[in-house]
Structure 1
Amino acid sequence: MTTFRIFGASIAVTVVALIVAFLYGGWAGVAVAAILGILEISLSFDNAVINATVLERMSPIWQRIFLTVGVLIAVFGMRLVFPLAIVWATSGLNPVDAMDLALNPPADGASHFPDGSASYETLLTDAHPQIAAFGGMFLLMLFLDFLFDDSGITWLSPIEDPLTKVGRLPNASTILALGALVIAAQFAESDHLVGVLTAGVLGLFTYLLVNGLTGLVGQGDPDEGRAGATEVVKAVGKAGFFLFLYLEVLDASFSFDGVIGAFAITSDPILIALGLGFIGAMFVRSITVYLVRAGTLAEYRYLEHGAHWAIGALAVIMLVSIHLEVPELVTGLIGVAFIGASALSSIVANRRDAARTDDTDDLPTVESRT
């Protein structure tokens, strides 16, 4: 599959989204949608790497479902419906009134209307501690489980080798994640304490449930997840469904940060959906497919490690953001830094291995010495 075919749909959707943004908000709408798209891609590149590692385990049918149905869920569900649902759940407004509130913000960017009622942006921002607790715990569990798994390959060996030994302790990742949640909750405002703890436990529960079901189905049914006599077992049937569900929850956890961060640029739900969803999410999907088709994960051996370290950093940032505001620039740059460093380390390691192979080939054989 050529690069143009992989990214062609994303480019076409981007053009259409920018046209819609122009018709909706003029050139200012185009600029906002473009900025949000770039923001989503920069924040979610590590998401694309992790998606690719999971997508490689799925059958072609489930890969297509993820790239079609999954896109619709990512675009409409997480970037448009999810913020409205949060406002509905926290304020008691029905979805129609929540959308009306979003489309008609207070004048001059105020946080409240003249009658004292909160704006859409304020209501969603007020729910950030619970959102951050859920997403932070889910991503933290993903990071710790990867870090504690002794795969035989380490990137930051001085750190990862000792942590692999810690991972031998039963339920080590769950214990550490719960400890992190308790510490984060101590800094939450008193009126958010119960919500933070509840959301954090739900994030932990969701990870354990989806990850556990995926592993159980993949191991329990000898006919599930097989793709002939290939070396790589492809998940089909129930195993494919649970991997699909796992990817959607993972995407949701990543999108929390982007949706909240978008309000630093605009509170308009239409522009957020166009920028984060139609432009950003589509390109993240295309990057995911490219990584799978091009075999990038196999070529860059430490890329998966870098993505998980970026996830760990994002999880910590989300838990810290329960009490402190963390600039989106910091969040994005940390992810890019880990991905870039791991890619560079992979290139250096590949060149070192190639040099060793050349040196071995240059050694005289027994026959040539005689």
Structure 2
Amino acid sequence: MLWNFFVVVLGLAIFEIISSVDNAIVNAHVLKTLPEKYRKIFLFWGLLFAVFVVRGILPFLIVWMANPALTIGGVMTAVFSNDPQIKEYLVASKPLLLLGGGSYLFFVFLSWLFLEEKKYAFLVEGFIHRQGVWFYAASSIFTVAVVYISLKINPTLALAATIGIAAFFITDGFKKNAEEQEKKMLTSHSMSAWSKILYLEILDASFSIDGVIGAFAFTLSVPLILLGNGLGAFITREFTIKGINLISKFAYLKNGAMYSIGMLGTLMVAESFGKEYPFWLAPLNMLILIAIFLGLSIRELRQTKTI
């Protein structure tokens, strides 16, 4: 039992860190334009907001959306309860959580693979990126296939899948807008420090959705998700302060994060349709993928002698 706890929390923390690398880099760039006083305000209060508000509330909201018969207060009580009836509610909602979250994560992966500028770890990545217009065909085929299979099993599953896909397009729009705003912030002197801090908090909330949704691939235990994601968020903030220049040198770390997201999304979708996996499969696959791309990054750094 203790081993299960350790593996899940470690996996959650690592996933939170790697899925937040982009966020940490943006934070570091914007923080450089702020006076020291406001940097400290963001790094202290921003951490509290990120951990206790955003990552603290999101898991409960997701569970509540899958269990609308319960109130928000009921969900908060349920996740810490041993009541058999409440456990039945949560178990019954598991396929909905997994399919909605898995669809969201798989779209994040497809968008990165087809549309996002990246350093190619493999030649096939460059080929797929040049065929970026096929993202829309691939995402349409995925949507039709998932909805078709869902309708044959349980129509509510189809709704969960479309909610997950809609959530992707909403958050993706926020992220794309954030990229444009970052460019303006780095060159503009008219935006106030408080406006930049507010922007960073909104950006953090949109990025944190990936980590929170992916957490359900590791466990449905909200207390474990809170612990693992909170630990990962704290470490990410430390990187923002001290180690972001080093982290940004690992050119393929983002690739590893995205392949991990694609893998987790695939596992969640398959599990929502009845396939069962051991608890250690998601953390182990993620660690293997991260190790591969970290190794590729270190090899390139040694070749260029910049590590």
- Aligned pair count reads 286
Alignment map for 1:156-171 (pairs within 5 Å): 156-157=122-123, 159-167=124-132, 169=133
Offset of residue 64 of structure 1: 4.8
One-letter identity of the residue aligned with 2:186: R
Structure 1 outlier segments of 4+, above 6 Å? none
From 124, 130, 139, give the equivalent of 2:90.
124
Q: Which runs of 5+ in 2 are unaligned?
A: 32-38, 190-194
1:307 aligns with 2:276: no
Q: Is the 8 A contact 2:150 2:158 kept in 1?
A: no
Higher relative contact order (CA 8 A, sep 6+): 2
Match of 1:341 in 2: 292
What are the equivalent positions in structure 2 for 1:91-106 lying under 5 Å apart?
A: 92-94=69-71, 99=77, 103-106=81-84
Q: TM-score, normalised by structure 2?
A: 0.78
Q: Deviations over 1:249-294 (max 9, x none)?
A: 223212322342x4xxxxxxxxx52x4323x223211332344431
Equivalent residue for 1:42, pick from 3, 6, 11: 11
**Residue of structure 2 in register with 1:283 after alignment:** 231
- Aligned equivalents of 1:141 and 1:287: distance in 2? 26
Aligned residue identity for 1:85: W
Across the aligned residues of Structure 1 and Structure 2, the Cα RMSD in angstroms comes to 3.2
Measure, in 1, the Cα distance between the counterparts of 2:82 and 2:61: 18
Aligned residue runs from structure 1 range 53-64, under 5 A: 53-58=22-27, 59-60=30-31, 64=44
Partner in structure 1 of residue 192 of structure 2: none
Q: Which has the larger radius of gyration?
A: 1
Query: Which residue of structure 2 lines up, in the alignment, with residue 23 of structure 1?
Result: none
TM-score, normalised via structure 1 length: 0.66
For the structure 1 residues 304 and 66, does the alpha-carbon distance in structure 2 shift closer, same or farther, using more than 3 Å as the test? farther
The DSSP-based 3-state class of the residue aligned with 1:212 is helix
Q: 2:95–2:157: 8 Å Cα contact kept in structure 1? A: yes
Contact 1:214–1:243 under 8 Å retained in 2: yes
Contact 1:66 1:244 survives alignment (8 Å): no
Q: Deviations over 1:156-192 (max 9, x none)?
A: 22x212211221x1xx434423422332344447452
Matching residue of 1:213: 174
Distance 2:106 2:46 in 1: 23
**d(CA) in 1 for partners of 2:21 and 2:186?**
19
| Structure 1, gaps ≥5 residues long | 1-30, 107-118, 230-234, 263-271, 356-370
Q: Distance in 2 between matches of 1:63 and 1:211?
A: 25
Cα displacement (A) at 1:203:
1.8
CA distance in 2 between counterparts of 1:288 and 1:221 reads 19
2:20 corresponds to 1:51: yes
